[in-house]
C-alpha cells in the first residue's frame, strides 16, 4: 500500500460528521499500514481548514472556484483523481453519504479500482485488504477482498470513530483544474428546514409506524425526538399512508441508518424495516403486541400503548436530563 | 428516444438467505423466489412511459445466470421491446466495476439517449452501477431520482440528499438511477405477459462485446450471518414503572441521556 486519500465532504463550508469518521478510519488505516494520510476538500471554510490542519495529515488538497462551487460527479471525480495522482495514493476513502456514493462509483471506474460501498468494518489485519459490508437486506455480511491495486471505499456513516486531534503541520496544496467537463450540475438546492435532522446523520432516531394511527399521532413521536435531540423516522406503512414524507422512511426502500439508539414506536419490525435499522447499536421498541417481531430484536422492549408510554417517557427523560 | 434499462434478478426481500457452504460468497438457491430487482421496476416503468410519449424503444440490458430470464421476461411484460443478456459466468460473478464495464459495452451497441437503472441492487446492496457505467459510457449521471423530466437535450431530475432536495440538470445522453416515488410500476396483464414470451432476448458474449475476462478486482470471500443481538429486556405492566425502568436503562446501559 502506498498512501491514503480521504475525500472530505463539506456542507456550508463545514466538515460533515460522516467525513470526520472517514478521516478517523484514514488515521487508523495509515497507522496500521505505516503509510501517509492525505485529504482533498472542496469549498472548505476557515473552521474546516483549521480542523483539517490538526489531524496529522501529510497533505491537504484544496479545491475551489466556480466549477466546484456546487457538487458535480464529473468535476469532483476529476479533482479527486488529480489529488490522488499528486498524493500517490492507492486507497481512496469517502463517507457513504448520498454524494459520497455518487462520487465513488465514478471514481472507481475511472481508476479501474476495486470498489466497496457502505462498508461497516475494515479488517485491518487481513491481506489482501478486506472489509465487511451488509448484503441481502442486512441478513448477511459479505467479507469482501479488494484485489485490484487501487481501492475505493465508502464508509457507512455513524459506524467509524471520528478523527482524533493530532499535531504536525499539514502541507496545503491548492489544486487548479483546467477544462473539466461537467454535464450534470445542481441547479437548485432547497435546504431542509432548520433543525430538522436527517435520519442517516442522527445519533438517536425516534420512529413511528402504523401504530401511530395518523399524521397527528406523529406529534407524540416528534415530542420525544425533540427531547432527545433525535431525528424522526418512520416505517413504510406510515409513509405510504401519507402521514409523514418519504424522506423519513427507514428500511429497504427508505434510508439505511446506524444510530446509537433507535426507538421504534408502533412498528412491527418487518424484515424490510429491519434492513434499514438492524445495525443500530441499541434498539428500543414500544408496542402493544408483545409478539411483534421488533420485540424479540429490541434491547429494551416496552409492552404498552405508545400514546400512554411515549409522552411519559418524554417527561421523565426531560426531568432526567435537567438533573 | 431509445432508452437502455439495466436489469438484475435478485432474491425476494422476504427470502431466508443462507450462505452456500460449498461456494464461498454465494447463497443457497433452493427454495428462493427470485424477482426483478425492486428498484428496476421504477426504471422500467419510467422508460416505458417516456417511450410512449416520445417514441423510440426501451431495451433491457441484463447480466445474470440462466434463471435471470424470468426477471427479463417480467420487464418485457411491463413494456420493454426486447433485451440484451450476458449470461457468461465470468460476467455474472464479476465485481460491480467489471459488471458496469460489461453493461456499458452492451449499452453502447444501442446508442441510447438515456440509460435507466434501479437505485440499488437489493441483493448486494450496491448502488454504484449508474456512476460506474456513466464513467465507462462517458455520460453524466444522476442517482436516486424521485422525478425525471425530459426537456429536449437535457433531463431535469429531482433527488434528495442528506440536508437538501436537489434539482439537477443532466445533458443527454445520461445515466439515471431510479428511486421510490418516481412512479407506480404497472402490473402487467395476462396479454402483456403472453406477448413478452415472444419478445427477443439476445444473448451476448464478452468476446462479442470486445471484452475478455480479467483478474477479479474484488471478490466476496465469505458470507456470514451477523452476530445475533444479545437478548434484550422486556417490561410489562404499569406505565410509570415501565418508563422508570426504561429511563434507567437508557442512562445506564445505552448511556444516551
Ligand atoms: C419490497 C418491499 C420493500 C419494503 N420496504 C420497506 C421499508 O423501506 N421500510 C419499511 O418500514 N417497510 C418496508 N416494507 C414494508 C414492510 O414489509 C411492512 O409492511 C412495514 O414495515 C410495516 O410497517 P409498520 O410496522 O409500521 O406496520 P405494521 O406491521 O402494521 O405494525 C404496526 C405495529 O404497531 C403496533 N401498534 C398498533 N397500535 C399501537 C399502539 N397504540 N401502541 C403501540 N403499538 C401499537 C402493532 O402491534 C404493530 O406491531 C417493504 C415491503 C416490501 C415488499
Ligand atoms: N418532520 C416531521 N415529523 C413528523 N411528522 C411530520 C413531519 N413532517 C410532516 N409530518 C406529518 O406528516 C403529515 C403529512 O405531511 P406532508 O406530507 O408534509 O404534508 C403532517 O400533517 C405531519 O403531521
State pLDDT tens for residues A137-179: 999 999 999 999 999 999 999 999 999 999 989 999 999 998 8
Closest ligand 2 atom, residue A196 Cα: 1
Instruction: Provide mean pLDDT across the span A119-133.
Output: 94
Measured between alpha carbons, how far is B161 from B168 in angstroms, rounded to an integer?
12
Residue B192, pLDDT score: 97
Q: Read off φ and ψ for residue A75, nearest 5 degrees.
A: -65, -50
A290 by Cβ neighbours in 10 Å (0-12 / 13-18 / 19+) ranks as middle
pLDDT one-digit tens code per residue, A157-166:
999 999 999 9
Closest CA to A262 of A271, A253, A252, A251: A251
pLDDT in tens, A186-217: 999 988 776 678 899 899 999 999 999 999 99
All structural domains of chain B with their residue ranges: 3-203, 226-257
Q: Per residue in A72-95, pLDDT tens?
A: 999 999 999 999 999 999 999 999
Ligand 1 centre to CA of B120 (Å) is: 22
**Class (C level, CATH) for B3-203:** alpha beta
Cβ neighbours for A11, distance < 8 A, ≥ 6 positions apart: B162, B163
- In chain B, residues with a C-beta closer than 8 Å to the C-beta of A313 are 243, 246-247
Nearest neighbour of A115 by CB, restricted to B97, B139, B223? B97
Atom of ligand 2 nearest to the CA of A216: 23
pLDDT for position A190: 86
pLDDT at B97: 98
Pair type for strands A130-135 and A140-146: antiparallel
Q: What are phi and psi of A85, to 5 degrees?
A: -65, -45
pLDDT of residue A194: 67
User: Residue A273, SS3?
Assistant: helix
Q: Is the peptide bond before A40 cis (omega within 30 degrees of 0)?
A: no
Peptide bond into A119 cis (omega under 30): no
A113 vs A323, higher pLDDT:
A113
- At residue A241, the 3 state secondary structure works out as coil
What is residue B162's predicted lDDT score, i.e. its pLDDT?
Answer: 84
Would you state the pLDDT for residue B183?
A: 97
The pTM score is 0.91
Q: Which stretches of chain B drop beneath a pLDDT of 70?
A: none
**Cα(A243) to centroid of ligand 2, in Å?**
6
**Closest residue to B217, CB basis, from A147, A190, A309:** A147
Mean pLDDT for the stretch of residues A235-257: 94
Considering only CA atoms, which of A302, A309, A273 is closest in space to residue B249?
Answer: A302
With a cut of 90, say whether residue A41 has pLDDT above it: yes
Domains defined along chain A, listed by start:
3-175 (3.40.50.620), 204-322 (3.40.50.1220)
Tell me which residue of A235, A245, A244, A300 sits closest to A272, measured CA to CA: A235
Rounded Cα distance, A63 and A134, in Å? 33
Share of chain A above pLDDT 70, in %: 99
Q: Do A299 and B140 touch (CB under 8 A)?
A: no
Identify the residue among A13, A80, A122, A142 best suited for mutation to test binding to B, counting B beta carbons within 10 A and taking the highest: A142
Does residue A1 carry a pLDDT above 90?
no
- Average pLDDT score over chain A: 95
Q: What distance in Å separates the CA atoms of residue A24 and residue A6, rounded to the nearest whole number?
A: 10
Amino acid at each position: 500500500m502506498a498512501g491514503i486519500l480521504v475525500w472530505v465532504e463539506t456542507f456550508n463550508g463545514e466538515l460533515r460528521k460522516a467525513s470526520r469518521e472517514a478521516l478517523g478510519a484514514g488515521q487508523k488505516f495509515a497507522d496500521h499500514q505505516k503509510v501517509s494520510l492525505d485529504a482533498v476538500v472542496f469549498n472548505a471554510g476557515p473552521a474546516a481548514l483549521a480542523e483539517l490542519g490538526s489531524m496529522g495529515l501529510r497533505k491537504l488538497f484544496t479545491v475551489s472556484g466556480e466549477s466546484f462551487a456546487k457538487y458535480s460527479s464529473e468535476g469532483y471525480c476529476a479533482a479527486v483523481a488529480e489529488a490522488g495522482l499528486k498524493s500517490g495514493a492507492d486507497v481512496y476513502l469517502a463517507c457513504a453519504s448520498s454524494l459520497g456514493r455518487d462520487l465513488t462509483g465514478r471514481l472507481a471506474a475511472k481508476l479501474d479500482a476495486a470498489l466497496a460501498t457502505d462498508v461497516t468494518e475494515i479488517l485491518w489485519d487481513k491481506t489482501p485488504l478486506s472489509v465487511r459490508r451488509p448484503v441481502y437486506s442486512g441478513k448477511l455480511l459479505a467479507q469482501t477482498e479488494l484485489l485490484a491495486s487501487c481501492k475505493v471505499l465508502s464508509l457507512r456513516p455513524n459506524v467509524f470513530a471520528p478523527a482524533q486531534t493530532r499535531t504536525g503541520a499539514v502541507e496545503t496544496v491548492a489544486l487548479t483544474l483546467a477544462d473539466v467537463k461537467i454535464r450534470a450540475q445542481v441547479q437548485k438546492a432547497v435546504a431542509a428546514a432548520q433543525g430538522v435532522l436527517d435520519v442517516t446523520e442522527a445519533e438517536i432516531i425516534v420512529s413511528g409506524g402504523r401504530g401511530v394511527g395518523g399524521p397527528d399521532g406523529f406529534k407524540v413521536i416528534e415530542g420525544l425526538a425533540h427531547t432527545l435531540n433525535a431525528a424522526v423516522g418512520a416505517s413504510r406503512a406510515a409513509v405510504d399512508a401519507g402521514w409523514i414524507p418519504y424522506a423519513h422512511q427507514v428500511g429497504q426502500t427508505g434510508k439505511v441508518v446506524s444510530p446509537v439508539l433507535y426507538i421504534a414506536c408502533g412498528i412491527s419490525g418487518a424484515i424490510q424495516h429491519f434492513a434499514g435499522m438492524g445495525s443500530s447499536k441499541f434498539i428500543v421498541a414500544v408496542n402493544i403486541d408483545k409478539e411483534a417481531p421488533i420485540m424479540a430484536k429490541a434491547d429494551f422492549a416496552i409492552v404498552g400503548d405508545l400514546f400512554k408510554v411515549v409522552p411519559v417517557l418524554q417527561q421523565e427523560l426531560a426531568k432526567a436530563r435537567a438533573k | 428516444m431509445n432508452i437502455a434499462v439495466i436489469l438484475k434478478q435478485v432474491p425476494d426481500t422476504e427470502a431466508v438467505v443462507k450462505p452456500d457452504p460449498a461456494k464461498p460468497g454465494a447463497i443457497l438457491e433452493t427454495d428462493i423466489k427470485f424477482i426483478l430487482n425492486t428498484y428496476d421496476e421504477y426504471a422500467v416503468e419510467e422508460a416505458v412511459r417516456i417511450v410512449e410519449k416520445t417514441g423510440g424503444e426501451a431495451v433491457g440490458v441484463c447480466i445474470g445466470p440462466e434463471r435471470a430470464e424470468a426477471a427479463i421476461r417480467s420487464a418485457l411484460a411491463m413494456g420493454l421491446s426486447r433485451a440484451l443478456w450476458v449470461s457468461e459466468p465470468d460476467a455474472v460473478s464479476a465485481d460491480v466495476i467489471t459488471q458496469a464495464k460489461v453493461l456499458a459495452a452492451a449499452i453502447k451497441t444501442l446508442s441510447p439517449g438515456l440509460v435507466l437503472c434501479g437505485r440499488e441492487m437489493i441483493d448486494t446492496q450496491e448502488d454504484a452501477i449508474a456512476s460506474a457505467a456513466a464513467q465507462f459510457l462517458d455520460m453524466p449521471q444522476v442517482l436516486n431520482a424521485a422525478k425525471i423530466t425530459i426537456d429536449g437535450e437535457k433531463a431535469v431530475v429531482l433527488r434528495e440528499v442528506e440536508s437538501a432536495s436537489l434539482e439537477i440538470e443532466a445533458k443527454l445522453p445520461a445515466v439515471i438511477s431510479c428511486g421510490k416515488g418516481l412512479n407506480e410500476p404497472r402490473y402487467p396483464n395476462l396479454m402483456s405477459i403472453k406477448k413478452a414470451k415472444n419478445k427477443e432476448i439476445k444473448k451476448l458474449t464478452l468476446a462479442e462485446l470486445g471484452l475478455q475476462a480479467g483478474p477479479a478486482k474484488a471478490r466476496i470471500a465469505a458470507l456470514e450471518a451477523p452476530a445475533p443481538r444479545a437478548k434484550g429486556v422486556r417490561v410489562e405492566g404499569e406505565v410509570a414503572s415501565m418508563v422508570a425502568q426504561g429511563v434507567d436503562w437508557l442512562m445506564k446501559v445505552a448511556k444516551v441521556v
